[in-house]
Chains A and B, each alone.
Chain A
Amino acid sequence: MYRPSIIHGLRLYSTKSTRKRELIDRIIRVDHAGELGADRIYAGQMAVLGKSSVGSVIQHMWDQEKEHKAKFEELIPKYRVRPTVLVPIWNVAGYVLGAGTALMGKEAAMACTVAVESVIIDHYNSQLRELISLGKEENKELVEIIKKFRDDEMDHHDTGLKHDAELTPAYNALTLVIKTGCKAAVWLSERI
């Protein structure tokens, strides 16, 4: 149980234990939202590009994202975390983003992957820094999980680049738009 009973439900000050609780709450909520979004993005991309030459590549990345999502779905009740209210919205938005970029072509789909993964990687890295500064041993489970997922996302990022992401027309503009959208989504999911 992660709630100290003295200040249970009554946070007069932010002591170290409440700060840690809030941090873990935020981290798991936003990571779950991120993996849910990634799962839907790949679903959208597969719907359009499933039968093309990059179908198997996207399928492989999608399977890994499904594992990530399942892990966070397990962590939510375990750490008594509140999931984000925007789950239904990310469901739809992710699918639309995936299908939309896939309709623009294989390279655009890969560019979308690269953009999203680069935001996620930075995000996981800053979470790892925060968790480790709070105590590497106490948060060992979460640190291990996020480390492994970050490594997987780095693989996805590199795979995207390898499959001609940068050959997309208007690559810079597309990447900028998608990155900004992702950062906004992360900011919102951390809070609500």
Chain B
Amino acid sequence: MPPPLPQPLRVPTTLHLTLQLAASLPTTQCGVGGVSASSAAWMNEQAAEDRHTLPEDDDSLDDANKGTEEQLKHQILEAALPFVHSRGWSQDAIAQGAESLGYSSMAHGMFPSGGVDLVNHFYAQCNTRLHESLKTTVNEMEKNPQLKKGTTTFIADAIEERLRMNIEFIDSWAEALALHASPRNAAMALRNIGTLVDHIWYHAGDRSYDFGWYTKRGILAAVYKSSELCMLQDKSEDFQDTWTFLNRRLSDVHKISKYSHDASSYTKDFSQVAKAGIFTVLNIMGMNSKSRS
């Protein structure tokens, strides 16, 4: 029984156009199965849409459509991840992922930035996993005070955990970082690492609301980035060299903050000594009006 002909669309969103186009193109590998799966998905979209009123009247229609579109993109990227080993972080991997779900490989057109969308998806997934894991760790530390870690240890463990999530794709991670380095993608890359260090600091107990918010996160981002780069060329057993490198960087940071603290107390003392000197000179010259009787 051939699938029924598509009805004319009332609201041609990108998703619908893509899938309709995909359905009408001859598919090479999936054949009839791929076409009917994509038009079945399209029919579901249409049915969901029919339940709403006219698009102009209903603002949530936009959000509902976008929600479904978001979920579809999420599914396709998730399915594309296993293909990264063979195809790299590219549109090819996304196309393979779409096909494995039964959609046309043309669905990669939903991701105009290409491979970097896959990288960002993976990065965001890892950030979310880290966030959940750190939340659990903090809850456990609250229940069992003897499990309590110092801040530096907590941060070191958090970075190690996050870097270990990259091990799965370590062979192609250099390509991923190169994609991130391109100026078009740099903003998203910064946002990714910003979210990451924000999570780590928040769960490590940082509740600051002044400029220290930025300095803390900036320093941690530098430590994380350098460790990530170190990991790219690390050939040691279980990446031991990287963890050693990480601990050295964190102890450097510790030293610097200690020295700056000491330095600021030196400057405070120095300013008091200078003040005393100035008042002595003024007294000698008889110009210290406060002590004139």
Contact = CB atoms under 8 A, between A and B. Distances in A.
Interface of A: 5-10, 12-13, 15-16, 32, 72-73, 76-77, 80, 82-83, 85, 87-88
Nearest to B73: A12
A39 to B, nearest CB: 12
Given A15-B63, A16-B63, A87 B210 contact: yes
Contacts of B208: 77
Contacts of B211: 83, 85, 87-88
Contact of B209 (A6, A16, A83): A83
B252 to A, nearest CB: 25
A9 B213 contact: no
A12 to B, nearest CB: 6
Given A6-B74, A77-B207, 5 more contacts: A9-B123, A10-B123, A13-B66, A72-B209, A76-B207
A133 B131 CA distance: 31
Contacts, number: 57
Interface stretch (B30-38, B86-94, B190-198): B190-198
Nearest to A73: B209
A190 B209 CA distance: 15
Main secondary structure of the interface of A (DSSP, over half): loop
B232 interface: no
A76 B195 CA distance: 15
A127 B191 CA distance: 26
Given A76-B209, A77-B209, A83-B213, A9 B192 contact: yes
Interface in B114-154: 120-121, 123-124, 127-128, 131
A117 to B, nearest CB: 23
B234 interface: no
B244 interface: no
Contacts of A10: 120-121, 123-124, 188
Nearest to A7: B70
B214 A9 contact: no
15 contacts: A5-B128, A8-B124, A8-B131, A8-B195, A9-B123, A9-B191, A9-B192, A9-B195, A10-B188, A15-B66, A72-B209, A77-B202, A80-B198, A83-B211, A87-B210
B210 A83 contact: yes
A67 to B, nearest CB: 15
B213 A13 contact: no
A82 B70 contact: no
